[in-house]
Amino acid sequence: MIAGVATAEAGGFAVREQSAYGQGSSFAGMAAPGDSISSMFWNPAAVTTVTGMTVEGNLTAIFPESELDVDPSRSTLAAFGITSSGGNVGETGIVPATYFAMPLTDEFYIGLSVTAPYGLATTSDAPWVGMFSHLEAEAVSVNATPVLGFKVNDMVSVAVGMQIEYFDVDIETALAPTAAPPRQRLEGDDVDVGLVAGVTLTPFDGTTIGIGYRSAVKHSLGGSQTFDIPVVTPIGTIPAGTYPITADLTLPETVSVGVRQRINDAFTVMGGFEWTNWSRIQTVPFEGSPAGSDLALNYDDGWFFSLGGEYKFNPNLTFRTGVGYEIAPTQDEDRSMRLPDADRIWASVGASYNWNEQLSIDFGYSHLFVDDGPVDETTAGIRYAGTAEGSVDIISFGMRYKFGG
């Protein structure tokens, strides 16, 4: 079930859309488990909340809009009559996520999540002013995380687990300013492992606090660099062809903190924040590249803050809403239309319906107000510049089934 394309809609090229339940509240307090085992993505100790075998599936559709308002005075190709912005670079993305949890004893629990925590899909229409920087970019990940949970007592639960992650990246750029340009293509993939850990605290009746940790995963990407035509460089001409390359890329660790506070039988408030160590990614060199290519990302750390509420209309129907604010890791001087990331505000609504005692259905919708961001990038002596303008709409559905307990 984990396949398809993910579109980055969190800071950097992370994908936050792992839960329809959380989507409806801008993921407020998701590290503090509620009724959905999808909280395992943020805090694996959520595995200890089930009373019987439980499975959950989520499917999210992401509709991004991002286009460059071109400044022709700072764009090299404009002097040659190429002034196009490349159109909307954002591609519709589909993000699946599945979860499983069950008790082994009154104290021990096991679980498994299969998610896509990183992804990217952008395409520019050639010819355009930044075609030497970006034509297509795609990154896809699949992450399987088995976990083991232990309920210490009614107040404390802990869990640890392993990430087994596949990551694939594919980037294409132009080699000549033509309507159907010859291309340079960089691609590579890898499988590697990391860790997860979490703790859930219930110090008072109605209060839940959760802290979750996802470790960094170091990928040694093996792949190739392909030139459709010979490329002239200061050190000589590179013949057309395919050349083996490698690249080391460490995807960042994340710490999530969530709080859920029941106000009364009907109303619950949630809040949370996330820190992601994106600053460990700076310039990524491609070893073996005959052109000495690299990818300058130069990230800062990423931060996400959210606040939400749930209202139980009746025993079967719950409404939720939430807002979030995200500080993107992208610095203005390093922004590219390959990934036009910027700070954003999240606004979300959602609902859950208990079809019966076993089956529950979740729905979430979010609109993201993305800040305008300056773009000024030079590749192979070809400069383009302007302002990236964007927004995002996200729709998510989930189903959860409890096999007893």
Residue 247 and residue 27: Cα distance in Å, rounded?
33
Alpha-carbon distances of 196 from 141, 160, 214, 276, 393, rounded to whole Å: 17, 6, 5, 14, 30
Cβ within 8 Å of residue 392, ≥6 positions away: 9, 62, 63, 64, 65, 90, 344, 366, 367, 368, 370
CA atoms within 13 A on the CB side of 308: 36
Exposed/middle/buried for residue 204 (C-beta within 10 Å: 0-12, 13-18, 19+) = exposed
CB 110 within 8 A of CB 146: yes
Q: Give me the count of residues in the chain.
A: 405
Query: In the prediction, which pLDDT does 235 show?
Result: 78
Return the CA Rg of the chain: 22
Query: In the prediction, which pLDDT does 233 show?
Result: 82
Alpha-carbon distances of 347 from 124, 196, 370, rounded to whole Å: 28, 28, 11
Alpha-carbon distances of 124 from 80, 100, 181, 402, rounded to whole Å: 19, 39, 12, 45
Query: In the prediction, which pLDDT does 4 show?
Result: 39
Cβ within 8 Å of residue 266, ≥6 positions away: 311, 312, 313
Show the domains of the chain with their CATH numbers: 20-402 (2.40.160.60)
Cβ within 8 Å of residue 405, ≥6 positions away: 50, 51, 52, 53, 103
Beta bridge partners of 377: 384
Mean pLDDT by 10 residues, the chain (405 residues): 47 92 97 96 98 97 96 96 96 96 97 96 96 96 98 97 98 95 97 98 95 98 97 89 97 98 97 97 94 92 98 97 97 93 97 96 98 95 96 98 82
Residue 221 DSSP SS3: strand
Residue 117 and residue 138: Cα distance in Å, rounded?
14
Beta bridge partners of 310: 268, 320
CB 126 within 8 A of CB 179: yes
Per-residue 3-state assignment (H helix, E strand, C coil) for 137-148: EEEEEEEEEEEE
Query: In the prediction, which pLDDT does 3 show?
Result: 37
Exposed/middle/buried for residue 224 (C-beta within 10 Å: 0-12, 13-18, 19+) = middle
Cβ within 8 Å of residue 100, ≥6 positions away: 37, 53, 54, 55, 56, 111, 112, 113
Query: In the prediction, which pLDDT does 88 show?
Result: 97
